[in-house]
A = this chain, B = another copy of it.
Amino acid sequence: MHVRRPATLASLAAELGVSRTTVSNAYNRPDQLSPELRRRVLETARRLGYPGPDPVARSLRTRKAGAVGLLLTENLSYAFRDPAAIGFLEGVALACEDSGQGLLLVPASPEREDVAAVHRAGVDGFIVYSVPDDDPHLAAVLERPVPTVVVDQPELDNVDRVGIDDRAAVTQIAQHLIELGHRRIGVVCMRLARDRNDGFVTVDRQHAAHFHVQRARLEALATAFAAANVDWTTVPVVERFDHNTACGSSAAAQLLDRDPHLTALICTSDILALGALAEARRRGLRVPQDLTITGFDGIPEAERAGLTTVRQPVLEKGRAAGKLLVNAADHTRPRTVTLSTELVIGTSSAAPRMSEERWFGP
């Protein structure tokens, strides 16, 4: 049995009686050799089954991988079911496509704390999207000597950042509800740390949250409602580790079971809010007359449902991250891109009913 070694640049060169450089030039710099010789090279390549220069060897020599790594520590299934995450992914993919870069999804499940995948990724840079700030994968990325862009993460030394002003956005929602007269509110938030805690959240846990975005939103809510004389320690906050409408429903149920007098539920994502809407419907509560519900993200489903929410430009976020990385070499870092958001007032928020308001009357 003769196992034919695949042809290489060297074997092609030998066959043709030219130097390796010349063969290389035939592929990469056609102007560096005569058309006739080039034709011969390519023809012989075809004859010998030479598939063209090996991409890995080329990357080693040129120090360019031609790809960008994307780290979503999120369980992939959740990422692919969250329209906001998909929008982000699309934005990144578009930016990469524009610049001819590949996009490498780095496998990093939260369970398996296997950082090896980060070490093995042949990429020219990383985009890190919404991972806990103590994530070992993130730490591994930061050790790699390539430019990095973090998205929806706290600032880090010498790392570009893309995000929105979560505090300002959430404060708008809070103001909206405060102006409507809501004082008895409940909050549904996404996971705050790597450990699972499906239930009520202490204030300590809120402050210690490792997901920057969630922490910022809760803190901004606390500040805004404190200014309206609502004691934040009395505001029930429920956390859900997973991110889907079922979680939103059960979280809403948990809040309403504890305190049926709540007049508004603030959810830190549209997905959760849609679940909360379903739970309200199930209980026969009219939205917004009996219960106000707000979301966050501005996904199409939310818009269709008439949810009051904050629209954030998820696609632009991805695109901005991609662009930042692609021309990272040209600029001094760190740079920060803060995208603008917009409060969308839908039909899921209104003033609380009088019977509820009286709790705060004279």
Contact = CB atoms under 8 A, between A and B. Distances in A.
B117 A100 contact: yes
Interface string A290-330: 00000000000000000000000000000000000000000
A159 interface: no
A58 B114 CA distance: 18
B90 A80 contact: yes
A107 B102 contact: yes
Nearest to A105: B103
Contacts of A93: 76, 80, 105
Contacts of A54: 60
A60 B55 CA distance: 9
Interface in A49-108: 51-60, 65-67, 69, 76-77, 80-81, 86-87, 89-90, 93-94, 96-97, 100-107
A90 B67 contact: no
A53 B121 CA distance: 11
Instruction: Determine how many copies of this chain the complex contains.
Output: 2
Interface residues of A, number: 46
A258 interface: no
A114 to B, nearest CB: 7
A14 to B, nearest CB: 19
A77 B93 CA distance: 9
Given A76-B93, A122-B122, A143-B51, A105 B102 contact: yes
A54 B121 CA distance: 9
Contacts of A94: 76-77
Contacts of A51: 143-145
Interface centre among A103, A120, A121 (most CB of B within 10 A): A120
Given A105-B102, A107-B102, A56 B52 contact: no
B102 A121 contact: yes
Contacts of A52: 119, 143
A119 B101 CA distance: 12
B116 A105 contact: no
Contacts of A76: 90, 93-94, 97
Contact of A97 (B60, B89, B102, B107): B107
Interface in A25-69: 51-60, 65-67, 69
Nearest to A116: B100
A24 interface: no
A223 interface: no
Contacts of A145: 6, 51
Interface in A138-178: 143-145
A157 B319 CA distance: 39
A90 to B, nearest CB: 4
Contacts of A69: 102
Nearest to A144: B51
B90 A56 contact: no
A105 B107 contact: no
B6 A65 contact: no
A334 to B, nearest CB: 19
Given A100-B107, A102-B106, 4 more contacts: A66-B120, A76-B90, A77-B90, A80-B93
Interface of A: 6, 51-60, 65-67, 69, 76-77, 80-81, 86-87, 89-90, 93-94, 96-97, 100-107, 109, 114, 116-117, 119-122, 143-145
